Copies of this chain bind each other. A is one copy, B any other.
Amino acid sequence: MARVRMSDVAARAGVSTATVSMVLNGVNSTRISPQTQQRVREAAEAVGYEPNSVARSLRTQQTRLVGLISDTIATTPFAGRMLAGANDVAREHGRLVILTDTEGDVGAERQALQALSGQQVDAMIYACMWHRVVEVPEGLPEDAVLLDCAPASADRAAVVPDERAGGMAAVRELVAAGHRRIAFLDAEERFDLVASRLRHEGYLQVLAEAGIEPDPFLHARAEPVAGGGREAARRLLDLPASRRPTAMFCFNDRMAMGAYAAAHQRGLSVPGDLSVVGYDDQQLVAAELDPPLTTVALPHYEMGRWAMEVALGLRRADPAAPHLMPCPIVRRASVGPPPAQFGD
């Protein structure tokens, strides 16, 4: 650890610590002669001086530390991208981030909040690892930024994925390929997912724009995992030919995995007989399926960046409504025109 103090530099350069401080921080440096500045810098270099941020923070009341408090960093593989975005912005601006994981426990949350504010962090980000509406915890500073969650009541800066637009993009992709019978493999209602509601809205809107009458049978619900997707897809593929979908928009990539499995079992090929679009662009999965999955990416990295930018005051946020981050569609190979007998 850096054992040399500013006074060591001062002694070696034959000046006071005030001079050292001014030179090294470039403050009032016009008042210090170039020769002295040179001497100070050389002395600092020679003794290997590294400023003690703790002392500096105490004096300046600025720690250059940002607290990032999250419900669970571990359970989703998406988390990393959010942290990476936040971290990159922090690094670009000379800040360090303190990460705390509350595992959804309210007690741990309050404790973390206290620890962070005791640590005098300059800013704070409250992150959820999947998009939801949260009751803002008591004690969260007014200027904290919410990441991947929307505040239930209080007005706070927040950023969430634009799920509605994402759902629209997914379905437009299918409509553009010529599909008219497009199923939505949705998560069951009991999971009460905002993403589910919004993606469904997007789905309906694009159908409406395309003049397609939505068929309630094509809105299938299941557990949002591969097994659920497989079952739901099977049921849909067992429908009589006239009602059977030629394309499926899946709530997430795992359900899409299940849809692939169901199609293969029925001897149908993707995208020859069935087109599939997923959601999440899950790392190490979407691109690895056969054929690679066309899907909608969750903009975790960008949301992380946005939140940190707002937290550091580099960007203004509207506290009245969460910022909607676009979800780009990632085109791979699971979408094609509908099979001939359904073509127009």
Contact = CB atoms under 8 A, between A and B. Distances in A.
A101 B117 contact: no
Count of this chain's copies in the oligomeric assembly:
2
A2 B116 CA distance: 10
Q: Could you say which of A97, A141, A258, A301 has the most chain B C-beta atoms within 10 Å of its C-beta?
A: A97
B118 A52 contact: yes
Given A80-B73, A96-B116, A101-B84, A289 B53 contact: no
A294 interface: no
A99 B133 CA distance: 27
A76 B87 contact: no
A198 B100 CA distance: 34
Contacts of A80: 73-77, 79-80
Contact of A2 (B76, B118, B227): B118
Interface string A219-236: 000000111001000000
For chain A, the bracket of interface size reads 35 or more
Given A54-B119, A73-B80, A96 B87 contact: no
A29 interface: no
Contact of A83 (B73, B230, B261, B301): B73
Contacts of A51: 118
Interface in A1-57: 1-2, 50-55, 57
A55 B73 CA distance: 30
Given A77-B77, A87-B100, 4 more contacts: A54-B54, A54-B120, A65-B98, A84-B101
21 contacts: A2-B117, A50-B117, A65-B119, A74-B81, A75-B283, A76-B284, A77-B283, A77-B284, A80-B80, A87-B99, A91-B101, A91-B112, A96-B98, A96-B119, A97-B100, A98-B99, A99-B99, A225-B288, A226-B288, A226-B290, A258-B290
